[in-house]
Structure 1
Amino acid sequence: MQQRRAVFIGVMTIGLTFATPAYVHPHVFAEARLDITLKPDGTVEKLGHVWRFDDLFSSTVLVEFDKNADLKLGEKELADLASTIKDSVAEFDYFQTVQLDGKPIVMAAPDHLIADFQNNQLLIIFESKPKQPLKLGRMTSFGVYDPTFYTAIDYVNDTDIHVTGLPGGCAQKVVRPDPDQAIAQNQGTLTDAFFNDPTGTNMSKIFATRLEIECPAKS
């Protein structure tokens, strides 16, 4: 297990020695879906994530975890893969970014993470919940991002982010930041660590596609 986890982390983190974000570019690509479920009072019940990885990365993972070399992953091999991925991305908060009125929200570790292969592509499926109860504020945002810039996880269509139970009076929109504008707007808060070591900061979230839910202020 330790060897396989090391291999997976190695595949995910190759190429992180570039000097600046201008030269750091993703090597792994995944199409994402996010389902946000809200309770009637506006409390976040759960987030449902699905990531579909690109063919090349999927093939690499298949070869590494195919213990019996039959070119497919059985139930035990998939369980081994799921456990390895869960451990590997835990330190990155499972690539999630949730904010309430500009403040980050801590998410609890998912109870289960499922790995599967469909049409020769790796699928990662899991649900997560806020560590503490989270009720929608004036501005609540949800998204995914890799703080190392190595993995590009994005929503191809705005409809790939879906909300169930949106309270009346609240509005939602998908925001896709322009990288140059994001850097310019956040220049004052970007540090040398951000430009020289992408793994040392979480500021890469400013480039992440996100869903913003805006609700009226309560009197």
Structure 2
Amino acid sequence: MLGSLRLAVLRFALAVALTLSAGVAAAHAHPHVWITATSELVYGPDGSFTGVRHTWAFDDMFSTYALQGIETKQKGVYTREDLAPLAQTNVESLKEFAFFTFAKAEGKKAKFNEPVDYYLDVKDNVLTLHFFLPLKTPMNTKEYAVEVFDPSYFIDFTFVEKEPVKLAGAPAGCAIKFDRPNDNSANAQRMSEDNFMNGDNSNYGAMFANKIAVKCP
């Protein structure tokens, strides 16, 4: 069985081969990778919603493992060029998990193309991934929703307190409603009893989704 740390690394394909004794079931019971996030909903000149620009800062432990073995000109100083192969592998691996980003408008799910303008940087020993996730078909609608979460709840997404989500180039009057995950004990207990213990982990983390709703006049 894959250990929790190795599973985390495989999910992001960060080239760290670690094997621990914990089982997959135990790993899925709670998150093992923590991401601090901000997002920007980007609009085109015609006023249509074109995609999401994400900034994901990984937890200290994951950052440390991910940076092991990367050669740099100056010890402890990582340039974008140093991290470019890691960034490419990272975003390519996210495709399998739908980039943990889900959009819907008028009752229909929207699809994304693969990320562009991606790069990694390191500040205060924290590894941060930046990328733009373009919609396959821009949305020209007054209302839509975006959710960010890991369905298996292996990865925890926590948005920053101040300005967690912004609009970039949106038409005048557009407003955001942002709801953080409701992780109270009652929900956690129900999730454990109704989903995890019954073997249904396909959408385990939906109760911990970060929900963004946009409404324009």
TM-score, normalization by structure 2:
0.74
Higher relative contact order (CA 8 A, sep 6+): 1
The answer to whether 1:214 aligns with 2:203 is no
The answer to whether 1:17 aligns with 2:25 is yes
Distance in 1 between the 2:101 and 2:18 partners? Answer: 21
* Structure 1 residue runs without a partner (length 5+): none
The 1:108–1:149 alpha-carbon spacing in structure 2 relative to 1, beyond 3 Å, is: same
Distance in 2 between the 1:65 and 1:5 partners? Answer: 14
* Offset of residue 112 of structure 1: 3.4
The answer to whether 1:160 aligns with 2:164 is yes
- Residue of structure 2 equivalent to 1:125: 130
Offset from partner CA, 1:120-176 (integer Å, 9 cap, x none): 1101001121111212344x1123212231211221225120113443554321112
Q: Which deviates further from its counterpart, 72-81 or 41-50?
A: 72-81
- Residue of structure 1 equivalent to 2:199: 196
* Structure 2 residue runs without a partner (length 5+): 1-9
Asked if structure 2 preserves the Cα contact closer than 8 Å seen for 1:66 and 1:72, the reply is: no
The 1:79–1:99 alpha-carbon spacing in structure 2 relative to 1, beyond 3 Å, is: same
User: Where do 4+ consecutive residues of structure 1 move more than 3 Å?
Assistant: 4-11, 39-42, 64-77, 165-171, 179-184, 191-195
- Residue of structure 1 equivalent to 2:153: 149
Query: As a proportion of its length, which structure holds more strand?
Result: 2
Offset from partner CA, 1:53-96 (integer Å, 9 cap, x none): 11111111111434899445455541121122112211112121
* Offset of residue 50 of structure 1: 0.7
- For 1:96, give the aligned amino acid: T
Asked if structure 2 preserves the Cα contact closer than 8 Å seen for 1:31 and 1:51, the reply is: yes
Asked if structure 1 preserves the Cα contact closer than 8 Å seen for 2:152 and 2:204, the reply is: no
The 1:9–1:124 alpha-carbon spacing in structure 2 relative to 1, beyond 3 Å, is: farther
Distance in 1 between the 2:160 and 2:14 partners? Answer: 30
- Residue of structure 1 equivalent to 2:34: 29
The answer to whether 1:105 aligns with 2:107 is no
The 1:67–1:204 alpha-carbon spacing in structure 2 relative to 1, beyond 3 Å, is: same
Offset from partner CA, 1:14-46 (integer Å, 9 cap, x none): 864139x7xx21121111111112246541133
- Residue of structure 2 equivalent to 1:65: 70
The 1:148–1:42 alpha-carbon spacing in structure 2 relative to 1, beyond 3 Å, is: same
Question: What is the percentage of aligned positions where both structures have the same residue?
Answer: 28
The 1:182–1:65 alpha-carbon spacing in structure 2 relative to 1, beyond 3 Å, is: farther
Number of residues of Structure 1 aligned to a counterpart in Structure 2: 203
Partner SS for 1:18: helix
Offset from partner CA, 1:194-214 (integer Å, 9 cap, x none): 95253xx24633421122113
Partner SS for 1:211: strand
- For 2:183, give the aligned amino acid: P
